[in-house]
Structure 1
């Protein structure tokens, strides 16, 4: 009989964690995205594969981005900021559900509301003293689960410690860029 909690096979989750523990030199996942301009402010990102434990795993997804018409776009898809926040929320969601499942706790409902405010003077290069990115992001987690408030707070603290996108938002990431000019 499978031990399924919140749609997650807890036994497989533990086996995956054990594999990571036993193979620390291969305990890496590399994700790759190819983004191409699609005219005006629109772009399409393609994910063709990722690397896990030294293996390349093929799969294909496409994600469109655009700006609202008020920001010179054609309003055909979420803008990059909405996708960034959606990626944060999706990562947090996985973490809440997986940590709860590992503790045998059923999540009945989970919603995360996140917002951040950008100063467009930085984005437009109008004031070099203005950060083009977020100075802060606010989020609220609404959870209904079969656990006490104390246990849910333990889960919340575990998510903050282990969510990759929480870490990406809350810490600096070294950016390494290259420019290739075709002539």
Structure 2
């Protein structure tokens, strides 16, 4: 996490219906190409939205990326201050509009889009240390920052 910029190259191919497949072709952090970056991610809409429900839908993938980014940031921040984690789980629940054009046509604000997450953590730190880590994660997670530009995000921390 010592580099300020990462470059990504992804290609998404339509697979029929509402399904798609994304190939993560490269990731460059600093000037170094990261090995093994040819991952494949499938996506499909649920049947109610016209898909077949054969893979996670785009919103689930977005929230999975949110959780993964927060998890990595939390583990990194804990490591930076010498805290050894024994358990870390982030649960996110959200309410997202499924029809963005309806929002554009209405004068309503984005208050209906809301994420709530709970971080369950244990390790050799105390509640104050974990709260400080959580505050640093809020500042450090690029995915959290991006989503927070357009919706309300509320988080809780539970020491277990």
**TM-score between both structures, scaled by the size of structure 1:** 0.72
Give the C-alpha shift of residue 49 in structure 1: 0.7
CA distance in 2 between counterparts of 1:119 and 1:105 reads: 38
Highest CA radius of gyration, 1 or 2?
1
CA distance in 2 between counterparts of 1:49 and 1:133 reads: 36
Kept after mapping to 1: 8 A contact 2:97/2:113: no
State the Cα deviation string for residues 115-142 of structure 1 (Å, max 9, x = none).
Answer: 221234x346497116799622111111
User: Where in structure 2 are there 5+ consecutive unaligned residues?
Assistant: 151-160
Aligned to 1:33: 10
State the Cα deviation string for residues 2-60 of structure 1 (Å, max 9, x = none).
Answer: xxxxxxxxxxxxxx73xx4xxxxxx4211221111100010001111122223444530
CA distance in 2 between counterparts of 1:128 and 1:143 reads: 42
Give the C-alpha shift of residue 85 in structure 1: 0.2
1:147 to 1:132, Cα distance in 2 relative to 1, 3 A:
closer
The answer to which structure has the higher strand fraction is 2
1:1-183 pair list within 5 angstroms:
17=2, 20=3, 27-57=4-34, 59-120=37-98, 122-123=99-100, 125=102, 128-129=105-106, 135-171=113-149
Report which stretch shifted further, 141-150 or 123-132.
123-132
Secondary structure at 1:33's aligned position in 2? Answer: strand
State the Cα deviation string for residues 90-133 of structure 1 (Å, max 9, x = none).
Answer: 0000011111111111111111111221234x346497116799
Kept after mapping to 1: 8 A contact 2:87/2:121: yes
How many residue pairs get aligned? The number is 148
